[in-house]
Structure 1
Amino acid sequence: MIRSLIRQALRVRGDEPAVLCRIGRDNRTLDELRRFRLRPTDRVVDLDEHPMGESLGPHTTAGRDRADAARARGGGHSPADTEDVGLVAVVAASYTDLRRAVTAAVHLPRAAHVVVAVTDTPAPHRPPVPHAPGLTDWHGLHELQVVRVGRTGWACSLFSPAGLDVATVLASAFDGTGGRRWAVPPRPVVALHGPGAASWRPGDTWVTGVAATGPVPLTPVTPRADLALRLGTRESSEEWSDPIVPAVDRPVSGTGVAARGRNGARPLTVRGPDPVALVPPVDELTVNPIGFTPDASGPLGELTRVDGRTVVTEGRTGPVAVPPDGTVTDVDLSRLRYLRGVRVDWAELVERDAAVRAVASLAAGGVPLLSGPVPAWAVGLGEPLLGLLTDAGEADLSDRSRREEHSVRLRRVALRTHGVRARWRGLAAAEGIPVRPDPRVSVVLCTRRPEMVGFALAQIARQRGVDAEVVLALHGFPADLPEVAPAVADFRAVGLPLTVYEAEDARVFGAVFDDAVRRASGDLVAKWDDDDWYGPEHLADLLLAREYARADVVAVGPEFVYLQEVDTTLRRARTTETVTRSVAGSALLADRAVLDDAGGFRPLPRAVDTQMLVAFEHAGARVYRTHGLGFVIRRTADGHTWSQDLTYFLDKQTDQWSGWRPSALLEGEPEPLGLRDGVVEQVGGRR
């Protein structure tokens, strides 16, 4: 089907040249691009091999003249350096490869007809229905077609006589797979040079390709980038000429780093000050825990070497090959989901760069990893991840809870250490380039129970890895009660901003909650209940999931439930790491703008969370459920706006324990704030 689409596009393109591009691991469809009947002015490009900074235009005299002129200016290339063409076709092996193609495509010429095809896509992802970009609204678009190709592939075709920017089309196609949140590139704005550079900045239409010596081009008087990254340059011969924009060198092999100073100073070669910064980042928008299978019972795979190649062995369809740069794709992860885990065979891994990046990618994808002692050459993984690799044994992966806990610990560290955003924040910090801080989370807590204020505030006070403020709505009682005032004072002593709102008793619960939201100043709003348990990484995990899932709303599933009446903990069967409306409303994080678009919380006495989720659905928001290991719902005889009797929970449980038995990721329970004279109130069932 993909071949037929491209063949037909070649027939109808008129007299204009065509550029056919492939990217990703070898497969038959990609390899057959060279077999089409092409004209001398046409071009076939392997985007995996093509260096950033070199033109991707057709073989025409005008195109060569413009490229030579750009090279003489020292400014690299852009689509403006080449003439428009009749057709550009980009065939990618996966969405991970499509993201790299977006970056490489900034060098492609504009085209009247653009064909984008992905040969294999995992089940959790939606089809690539392009989103129309903002300022360039494709007014001249005549045709848009999206078709399924084979069992797992997709293709889209766009035609506009006025011409289309290919990088924008590719980015829009990927954005269409993930809801209404655009995949906005991280800061700083960068320029790239060299082979494989697109792996460092996947999905970035703002990137600029530059010559090895610079300078970064101006637009019109401001540099197009804040920082340049060069791969494969020899620091002894390639002086960096830009006096304003600093450049950082990375060898393609990943074994060293040379940092260029500002003001055109002589290059300073530095070997290994931060080994983590030498590893190409993991694209968290495609390599992530989405689709994780909590109850996977397949065999153990192995990251090893077979027939001279680095592979992950698995039994259903053969080994998953790892290329020399260590790229693991979303398709690879989908093939490995049924495995209980993967053992890393360090002794057999000769391609060290590939091994380090593959391990980081598998961990970021939530694959439970087993490892013996890690060799010194794998130091680029970073100390936190190195420590986790040897923490679990094969018996742990046979227990569902311990297996998922190990997976969550790995993914947290890998994504926060090796994700694209994390890597570029580190590079910017090393060069003294400011970046925006993380978004602030406004935790909104509305309660009718003075005796639970200290308990709830203690749960919030121990949150780590997040910039948070709290809006405490006291529904029907004042803040100077003896159960409340000491707890508020203790919380203020922690240093987190706190706003206290005293609501009238007669005001409807939903309206009180909406009043509290309007008093919040954060970019995001997190809902918090006064009697549930939250682990110290609860908010940080929601923020992490919001990024890799591109979600407007993130929450956890109501997996763990403590039935206080019978002193029993249940774990309910739930699918995690998926887009769904079935989430726990008491553990919900939403973009402030999306909450406003959905109309806020309705003025209802109960079912406020349920109605909010319905509103999100009608507003077109993407609701994502991450793991629920750091959250426990408390059920008592009364006092809940969500009314369900005990049988509702008992009928749906998969595990049951006597007493209070949360996941280890909850990390126990803090003492309620505001206690005096060592008096501890019973708030759980385990004391």
Structure 2
Amino acid sequence: MITTALRNALRGRGTETALLCHTGAGARAHLDGLPLTDSDAILDLDARVLGEPVKLQGVWERDLGPEAGLVAVVAATTTDLHRSLTAAAGLPRAVQVVVAILDTTGHQEPPLPASPGMGQWRDLQEARVRRVGRRGWLCELFFPNGVETPQVLDAIWSGTRGRRRGPAVAPLAALSGPEAALWRPGDTGAHGVEPAGPVPLRRVTPVGDLALRVGDDTPPGWTDAAVPVLDRRTTSTDAWERIAAPGGGASVRESADPVAEVAPIDELTVNPIGFTKHGDAHWGDLTAADGRAVIRQGKKDLVVVPPDGTITDVDLGRLRHLRGVRVDWSGHGGPTAAVRAVASLAAGGVPLVGGSVPAWAAGLGAPLIDLLLGTTEEDLADPLRREEYSVRLRRVALRTHGTRSRWRTLGARAGVPVPPAPTVSVILCTRRPEMVGFALAQIARQRGVDIEVVLTLHGFPATLPEVAAAIAGFEATGLPLVVREADADRIFGSVLNDAVARTSGDLVSKWDDDDWYGPDHLADLVLARTYSGAELLGVGQDFVYLQEVDLTLWREGRSESSSRFIAGGTILTDRAVLEETGGFRPVPRSIDTQLLIAVMRGGGRIYRGHGLGYVLRRTGGGHTWSEDMAFFLRNRIQQWFGWHPSALLEGEPEPFGRPVTEYTGGLR
């Protein structure tokens, strides 16, 4: 179908120039045998050197720049398409744009493009989106007058994620050299520059705040005094064959910060979405075969790792059934490529074991290396231990090697200010004075996020001795706290909206007074916000403590996926989303469910992260969400007598104002 569509497009463009592009493994084959003219061209976006112009014959020179009759992009996966958005900078405008995605993981939305919003597509003549095979897609757009090609590619890719793009990558970048797109995947605003500079101006302002040059050789002197520059080497610079070659001159370069020398991971496509709780008994091996790095199960190659170490979303999908992957440190093209491959697998939540980690893999970073050194195959035989390890891996890898983290590091190194991380306002509304100290202790131990708390005492005063003691204990931590009182007859939904009105954070998190939360609960949700494309996030009731019968359940249920339901006490969302949905409904019960319905009705996405850092407590009554005990006993994977949370909960903090045993009923 792809070849047929391209043939038809070439016939329909008349005498106008066509540019056919490809990205990712196997994409080039779909361009073979097409009826091209002398003015047509085929471009490998993966090999494109940013800063060098795309030279085409016979294109129309319009007021807004060169214009081709057809620009087509064949991408192997959505990861490849996203990376190509950066390499697409400088492509000509086009009357017709064709985009083919050969394979997807299945958890993405259809690539339905949305118009940019400034009238650029008002004269769109026709748009077609069709499936290709089981999981591929073909998109064709026709315009009477040419449009910006990178903008069309971006709109198609963004259709796979929903409306929300996630936090921006800062600072703005100017890029030069081969593999520069690896450092800034998906950035249609990145500009190519010549190796010596300068960075172009848009009116009187440089188009980038930081320039990054990627190459194999010593770069020329930098000529732009206004924009700082950093230099990095390509992944092929330290390939083993170059290091070993007589007189090759290449070496494993030592650095004070080896992590910052490695091209980052595209967390918008390489992430734990699609992780499965139950891997089978099979293992994969990241090793060498026939001169290339592969991930092999028995005699079957599940993934072929390209020379630059890129792992795609489709690659991760092919590995989800495995219990884990063993890393053979001798089976890679070179140190940098090996680090990128291993870090990508970890970011995807693939359980890894590797024994002794060689010194040349220091670019993984000490925290990730420590995890690899401390885990064996036997540790992963238990499904709960396997998922706990997966969560630890993905946390470290995404925070260390994600594109957003890497560019904040680069900006700091170059002295370029970056926007602050989002702040989180926690709203806690309780009718139970005896639970205030317990709940505040759960919040106080949150780490990795900048938080404030808005505490609403629903029907009782702050002067009660146990409440005053709890508040004083929390204030001693130095965390911001706003305390307000609400009359007992106020409707719960209205009380929550009043609390939201008193927050000042970028994000709002709802907290329950009697549940348990691990110290990374909020940080994990904020991290998931960067890659999920969701308007609202939370976790499921994976762990439930049934207090009446003193029983802990680990329940079946998908995590790291879009979902219609999450635990209400784990909601995290943007303040703007609450405004768009009307906030919490002024009703006494099912407040959380009503908010989820409002988000979905508005076209938003709800994302369920892992639930290992949260335990839902169920007592005999007093809950705004009513389900009997049988509901929680269904679909359980394991159960234990007593309080038995995941290790990621890291125990239980002592409540402020009272001993812990007065709150847990002697659980310890």
TM exceeds 0.5?
yes
Offset, 1:363: 0.1
> Alignment partner for residue 30 of structure 2, among 23, 32, 36?
32
Classify 1:425/1:254 alpha carbon distance in 2 versus 1 (closer, same or farther; 3 Å): farther
> Partner amino acid for 2:45?
L
Q: Whole-Å Cα distance in 1 between the matches of residues 302 and 626 of structure 2?
A: 50
> Alignment partner for residue 427 of structure 1, among 403, 406, 410?
410
Which of 391-400 and 364-373 deviates more? 391-400
Classify 1:208/1:136 alpha carbon distance in 2 versus 1 (closer, same or farther; 3 Å): farther
2:97–2:142 CA contact under 8 A, matched in 1: yes
Offset, 1:351: 2.4
Deviations 1:132-178 (A, max 9, x none): 11324411211111110111110111111221111111111111111
User: Partner residue of 2:587?
Assistant: 604
Deviations 1:15-71 (A, max 9, x none): 21010000001x2x53231421111111100111111111224224888xx9xxxxx
Q: Whole-Å Cα distance in 2 between the matches of residues 240 and 362 of structure 1?
A: 36
Q: Whole-Å Cα distance in 2 between the matches of residues 214 and 448 of structure 1?
A: 63
Q: Whole-Å Cα distance in 2 between the matches of residues 434 and 468 of structure 1?
A: 22
Q: Whole-Å Cα distance in 2 between the matches of residues 369 and 435 of structure 1?
A: 33
Q: Whole-Å Cα distance in 1 between the matches of residues 96 and 447 of structure 2?
A: 49
User: Partner residue of 1:564?
Assistant: 547
> Alignment partner for residue 244 of structure 1, among 197, 201, 226?
226
Classify 1:601/1:137 alpha carbon distance in 2 versus 1 (closer, same or farther; 3 Å): farther
Q: Whole-Å Cα distance in 2 between the matches of residues 590 and 560 of structure 1?
A: 22
Offset, 1:524: 0.9
Alignment of 1:163-202 (within 5 A): 163-182=146-165, 185-202=168-185
Alignment of 1:283-298 (within 5 A): 283-298=266-281
User: Partner residue of 2:105?
Assistant: 122
Q: Is 1:3 aligned with 2:3?
A: yes
User: Partner residue of 2:87?
Assistant: 104
2:307–2:333 CA contact under 8 A, matched in 1: no
Classify 1:115/1:505 alpha carbon distance in 2 versus 1 (closer, same or farther; 3 Å): same
The SS at the match of 2:553 is strand
Q: Is 1:231 aligned with 2:229?
A: no
2:293–2:304 CA contact under 8 A, matched in 1: yes
Offset, 1:438: 1.0
User: Partner residue of 1:157?
Assistant: 140
Runs of 4+ aligned residues of structure 1 deviating over 6 Å after TM superposition are none
Offset, 1:541: 0.3
Q: Whole-Å Cα distance in 1 between the matches of residues 281 and 23 of structure 2?
A: 31
User: Partner residue of 1:259?
Assistant: none
Offset, 1:205: 0.9
User: Partner residue of 1:266?
Assistant: none
Q: Whole-Å Cα distance in 1 between the matches of residues 519 and 119 of structure 2?
A: 44
Which of 561-570 and 640-649 deviates more? 640-649
User: Partner residue of 2:74?
Assistant: 91
Q: Whole-Å Cα distance in 1 between the matches of residues 59 and 29 of structure 2?
A: 28
User: Partner residue of 1:19?
Assistant: 19
Offset, 1:192: 0.7
Q: Whole-Å Cα distance in 1 between the matches of residues 308 and 526 of structure 2?
A: 29
Q: Whole-Å Cα distance in 2 between the matches of residues 48 and 342 of structure 1?
A: 27
Offset, 1:584: 0.7
Task: Give the aligned length.
Answer: 654
User: Partner residue of 2:473?
Assistant: 490
Q: Is 1:50 aligned with 2:32?
A: no
Offset, 1:255: 6.3
User: Partner residue of 2:422?
Assistant: 439
User: Partner residue of 1:59?
Assistant: 57
2:661–2:667 CA contact under 8 A, matched in 1: no
> Alignment partner for residue 387 of structure 1, among 370, 374, 382?
370
> Partner amino acid for 2:6?
I
Which of 138-147 and 664-673 deviates more? 138-147
> Alignment partner for residue 307 of structure 1, among 290, 293, 302?
290
Q: Whole-Å Cα distance in 2 between the matches of residues 634 and 536 of structure 1?
A: 17
2:544–2:615 CA contact under 8 A, matched in 1: yes
Q: Whole-Å Cα distance in 2 between the matches of residues 680 and 646 of structure 1?
A: 24
2:17–2:59 CA contact under 8 A, matched in 1: no
User: Partner residue of 2:598?
Assistant: 615
Q: Whole-Å Cα distance in 1 between the matches of residues 30 and 507 of structure 2?
A: 48
Q: Is 1:668 aligned with 2:666?
A: no
The SS at the match of 2:645 is coil
The SS at the match of 1:483 is helix
2:302–2:319 CA contact under 8 A, matched in 1: no
> Partner amino acid for 1:227?
L
Q: Whole-Å Cα distance in 2 between the matches of residues 233 and 214 of structure 1?
A: 17
Q: Whole-Å Cα distance in 1 between the matches of residues 525 and 173 of structure 2?
A: 28
Q: Whole-Å Cα distance in 1 between the matches of residues 298 and 601 of structure 2?
A: 43
Deviations 1:468-519 (A, max 9, x none): 1111111001111111111111111111111111001110111111111111
Q: Whole-Å Cα distance in 1 between the matches of residues 6 and 297 of structure 2?
A: 34
Deviations 1:551-588 (A, max 9, x none): 11110011100011111101111111110112111111
User: Partner residue of 2:246?
Assistant: none
The SS at the match of 1:569 is strand
Deviations 1:250-278 (A, max 9, x none): 1113768xxxxxxxxxxxxx951210011
CA RMSD of aligned residues (A): 1.7
2:59–2:66 CA contact under 8 A, matched in 1: no
* Structure 2: unaligned runs, 5 residues or longer: 239-252
1:190–1:208 CA contact under 8 A, matched in 2: yes
Alignment of 1:408-423 (within 5 A): 408-423=391-406
User: Partner residue of 1:683?
Assistant: 664
User: Partner residue of 1:253?
Assistant: 235
* Structure 1: unaligned runs, 5 residues or longer: 67-78, 257-269
Offset, 1:365: 0.3
The SS at the match of 1:318 is strand
> Partner amino acid for 2:53?
S
Deviations 1:444-487 (A, max 9, x none): 10100000000000000000000111111110011111111111
State the TM-score, normalized to the length of structure 2.
0.95
